[in-house]
Amino acid sequence: MSKVKMIERIGQLNLSARAEFLAEFNEAELLQYMANLEAVWSDFQDQFYKTADNTFTAETEQYEPVLMAG
């Protein structure tokens, strides 16, 4: 994946990340940061569930919050 594509993906996962700032890092650093963001996003999604009474497609998939015991 190119540096530009990694910066675009990071921007999708972290809306506060600025491309100008991210451009200062090398590809390996961006790849590590992107992997960390994707792991956090995956963990976050695991705390949500899909409603049983609805059928979702990939384009309309939505999540509802679930209170998780800590």
Q: What is the pTM of this model?
A: 0.63
* pLDDT for residue 21: 96
Do residues 68 and 47 touch, judged by C-beta distance below 8 A? yes
* pLDDT for residue 66: 53
As a whole number of Å, the end-to-end CA separation of the chain is: 37
* pLDDT for residue 19: 96
Q: Where are the domains of the chain?
A: 3-65
Query: Which spans in 1-70 are helix H?
Result: 3-13, 19-22, 27-46
Question: pLDDT tens digit string along 3-38?
Answer: 999 999 999 999 999 999 999 999 999 999 999 999
